[in-house]
Amino acid sequence: MREVAIIGVGMTDFGELWQTPLRDLYAEAVVSCLKDAEIERDQIQSAWMGCMSSGLFNHQEHLASILSDYAGLRGIAATRVESACASGGAAFRAAYLEVASGASDFVIASGVEKMNDGADATFCLATAADQEYEVYHGVTFPGLYAMIATAHMHKHGTTYDMLCQVAVKNHKHGAMNPKAQFPMEITTDTVKNAVRVAEPLGLFDCSPVTDGAAAVLLAPVEVAKALGKPLVTIKGSGQAVDSIALHDRPDPSRIPSVGMAARKAFEHAGVTVRDIDVCEVHDCFTIAELCCLEEIGFYEAGQAGGATLAGETALGGKMPVNTSGGLKSKGHPVGATGIGQIVEIYEQLSGLSGDRQVSGARLGLAQNMGGSGGSSVVHILEVK
Ligand code: COA
């Protein structure tokens, strides 16, 4: 396998972008990515695009063709990838493997989702849960994560103050991110006093409904060296699926696909969790950030909440988590999220994160998850 580097990134604002059609979101991300890489369109050989549900959200399928054509990439090999909210991470892995295998030299990995287009977002998202055993009985994602939170609280003594601190911390980071959907600082009282969505989770425990796109360009490491750019390489890649329905898992307070994907990525990279300097994890709900940190191995089961309250996961702390603002503050355009995470880690490792910079970061991790954890993708990036 060849070594692979990221040679350019591009991203739209994340938010309620009612005036911007799906195809313009994609084109904006791709055009800014190619500009960043200083690569011409006719050099691109292939594109993998993560998108969860353009059929339900936008009544548009056959996405790889329509988006590539609109972005001026007619003739390339292009494929849409779907793994619910992990679609972006899965698209990145497919693009990485294509370049690593030697099949292509210039491959775009992207993600795009336009969730504000008139459709019922809660209904569209719920198609990624188990229809027969979960959705037919009335439960949607806030309800599923509320059950995970309740089980975690019962088993480990996790408190609501710990969940609140995840939101407070991520909004603090997001307030420094000009592309974030909700770039404002909040307090614990904001989270506690917000309208309840599914007990124990309230409005500020939830990621929002978001439009956005992100793209990265991958190439063999020799090409990146010749361009004279910061050399950010993909050191590890892991992916795993698990049962979708919570009742099929031995312990509903856990999300095992995250750990399975992380172990594969660490083994591939030849590093351990202690080597990681900065990470983006899939905080679709506040409880998810704690579960993901524990499954990846940053903390023992039940310990991530206390560490969050102690400030360890904030910028300046021992293990900065979700410096972009995470899904909670930056926003969660589901198919684009995994690529947005890669953009943040690339910028951190390149020293381009401005006020959010983690000084001296050399190794970063991005973890992207589908639904309530039926799928997970983990990547480890390194700057040489
Ligand atoms: N955090 C903070 N504020 C939010 C918010 C969020 N997640 N979502 C919406 N708001 C704000 C809006 O800006 C708006 O503020 P305003 O009244 O000052 O303008 C207000 O709350 C109401 O917005 P609205 O769009 O009507 O909210 P909603 O009730 O339709 O949706 C949720 C709120 C939490 C139910 C929705 O965002 C949601 O379903 N989130 C989870 C998404 C999800 O499941 N993703 C997949 C994960 S697996």
Q: Is the CB of 14 under 6 A from ligand 1?
A: no
Residues 290 and 143 in one domain: yes
Burial class (CB in 10 A: 0-12, 13-18, 19+), 360: exposed
7 in Cβ contact with 224 (< 8 Å): yes
Give percent of the chain above pLDDT 70.
Answer: 100
- Residues 298, 272: Cα–Cα separation, whole Å: 10
pLDDT of residue 77: 98
The answer to whether residue 229 scores a pLDDT higher than 90 is no
Residues 265 and 163 in one domain: yes
The answer to whether residue 273 scores a pLDDT higher than 90 is yes
> Is 124 among the catalytic positions?
no
Q: Compute the mean pLDDT over every residue in the chain, rounded to the nearest whole number.
A: 98
Give percent of the chain above pLDDT 90.
Answer: 99
Q: Categorize the per-residue pLDDT at 203 as very low, low, confident or very high, splitting at 50, 70 and 90.
A: very high
Q: Categorize the per-residue pLDDT at 24 as very low, low, confident or very high, splitting at 50, 70 and 90.
A: very high
Residues 238 and 253 in one domain: yes
Q: Is the CB of 106 under 6 A from ligand 1?
A: no
Q: What is the CA(222)–ligand 1 centre distance, in A?
A: 45
The answer to whether residue 67 scores a pLDDT higher than 90 is yes
- Residues 8, 40: Cα–Cα separation, whole Å: 12
Q: What is the CA(121)–ligand 1 centre distance, in A?
A: 10
Q: Whose CA is nearest to atom 36 of ligand 1?
A: 208
Residues 241 and 349 in one domain: yes
Amino acid code (one letter) for 249 = R
Residues 199 and 215 in one domain: no
pLDDT of residue 228: 86
The answer to whether residue 81 scores a pLDDT higher than 90 is yes
pLDDT in tens, 97-155: 999 999 999 999 999 999 999 999 999 999 999 999 999 999 999 999 999 999 999 99
Q: Is the CB of 206 under 6 A from ligand 1?
A: yes
Q: Is the CB of 85 under 6 A from ligand 1?
A: yes
Is residue 217 in a domain?
yes
Q: Categorize the per-residue pLDDT at 182 as very low, low, confident or very high, splitting at 50, 70 and 90.
A: very high
Q: What is the CA(343)–ligand 1 centre distance, in A?
A: 24
Residues 88 and 40 in one domain: yes
Q: Is the CB of 57 under 6 A from ligand 1?
A: no
147 in Cβ contact with 85 (< 8 Å): no
Average pLDDT over residues 253-265: 98
- Residues 278, 68: Cα–Cα separation, whole Å: 33
Average pLDDT over residues 308-325: 98
Q: Is the CB of 332 under 6 A from ligand 1?
A: yes
Output the pTM of the full model: 0.98
Q: Is the CB of 288 under 6 A from ligand 1?
A: no
Q: What is the CA(113)–ligand 1 centre distance, in A?
A: 16
Count how many domains the chain has.
2
Q: Which atom of ligand 1 is nearest to the CA of 121?
A: 39
Going across the sheet that includes 278-280, the strands are 77-81, 46-50, 107-114, 211-220, 4-11, 232-241, 375-383, 363-370, 278-280
Residues 220 and 254 in one domain: no
Residues 360 and 222 in one domain: no
Q: Whose CA is nearest to atom 10 of ligand 1?
A: 208
Range of the domain at 339: 138-207+234-383
What is the sign of the dihedral through the CA atoms of 217, 262, 13 and 143? Answer: positive
Residues 267 and 345 in one domain: yes
Is residue 129 in a domain?
no
Catalytic residue, candidates 33, 51, 85, 291: 85
Among 199, 227, 255, identify where a domain stops.
Answer: 227
Residues 42 and 171 in one domain: no
> Is 332 among the catalytic positions?
yes
- Residues 138, 198: Cα–Cα separation, whole Å: 12
pLDDT of residue 293: 98
Q: What residues form DSSP beta bridges with 196? A: 202
Establish how many alpha carbons lie within 13 A of residue 88's alpha carbon, considering only the half-sphere containing its beta carbon: 29
Q: Is the CB of 202 under 6 A from ligand 1?
A: no
- Residues 347, 340: Cα–Cα separation, whole Å: 11
pLDDT of residue 362: 98
Q: Whose CA is nearest to atom 40 of ligand 1?
A: 208
| Phi, psi of 49, deg, nearest 5 | -120, 125
pLDDT of residue 57: 98
Residues 85 and 104 in one domain: yes
Among 227, 262, 288, identify where a domain stops.
Answer: 227
**CATH number of the structural domain spanning residue 378:** 3.40.47.10
- Residues 185, 173: Cα–Cα separation, whole Å: 8
Is residue 130 in a domain?
no
Residues 103 and 223 in one domain: yes
Query: Percentage helix, strand, coil, to 5, in the chain?
Result: 40, 20, 40
Is residue 326 in a domain?
yes
The answer to whether residue 230 scores a pLDDT higher than 90 is no
Strands 363-370 and 107-114: unpaired
pLDDT of residue 334: 98
Contacts of 10 (CB under 8 A, 6+ apart): 28, 29, 30, 31, 32, 33, 34, 35, 36, 214, 215, 216, 343
